[in-house]
Amino acid sequence: MPGFQALSQNVDGLSERANHPQKQLQLLHGTLFKVRCTDLEQCNYSEMNYENPILPALAVPTLGIAPAQHRTSEGPAEHDKELDKSNINVPLPFIAIDDLPQCPKCKQRVLRPGVVWFGESLPRSVLDEVETFIDADKIDLILVIGTSARVIPAADYIKQARARGARVCVVNLNTDDRPVGRRNKDWFFEGDAAVIVPALLMPITEACP
């Protein structure tokens, strides 16, 4: 759809796998499927990587490897079941630094997920793309779907869109996530975005060939 930009705080890669046009998708928090060197100032290496796990040492622990004759077509054998790493009673294996993915460019640092961790700045290139889009023209509508409308800096885009004439539509399970400064012409739909958004967009999707 021309004239549309999606600003996503998700890092799961689902938008990309759904063939969302790359030029119309801004990943504010990056993506788990990009890995980069931990030393981004001196070494700018990054790559897309869809291997899971990226190295055997980073695999989710299991109960053990079941013999081939015990495996069935119905699913993994009991020994193959992944353990719950969030359970404090599940011991995690020690992983040596040499077993972590090494940067193939500088060969001095390890690779890390290409996501924004707490305390880090959002990617400047993405912020620049968003600002350019907002400054370019009048905005008719901003949809805030399944995320807080109060957390900075993403929440600031609501104010900027309003300043350019946009109406605000929020879809959320939490009624506390109504945007600050809500106006009479704004919409708030309480409920599951997977149900509400398709219904809202039905007039558009049905009109598309």
In this structure, what DSSP letter does residue 127 have? H
Going from the C-alpha of 20 to that of each of 6, 48, 49, 98, 123, the distances in angstroms are: 9, 17, 18, 37, 20
pLDDT at residue number 75? 53
Average pLDDT over residues 94-103: 90
Q: In the block, which residue shows the tokens 């790493």? A: 85
Between CA 25 and CA 177, with CA 132 as vertex, the angle to 5 degrees is: 60
**Residue 31 confidence class, pLDDT cut points 50, 70, 90:** very high
Catalytic residue among 20, 29, 70, 79, which? 29
pLDDT at residue number 91? 82
pLDDT at residue number 74? 54
pTM: 0.77
Q: In the block, which residue shows the tokens 């890092």? A: 11
Average pLDDT over residues 12-18: 88
- Beta bridge partners of residue 38, listed in sequence order: none
Cα 190 to its chain centre, rounded Å, is: 22
Q: Is 70 a catalytic residue?
A: no
CATH numbers and ranges of domains, the chain: 138-209 (3.40.50.720)
109 residue type, one letter: R
pLDDT at 181 over 70: no
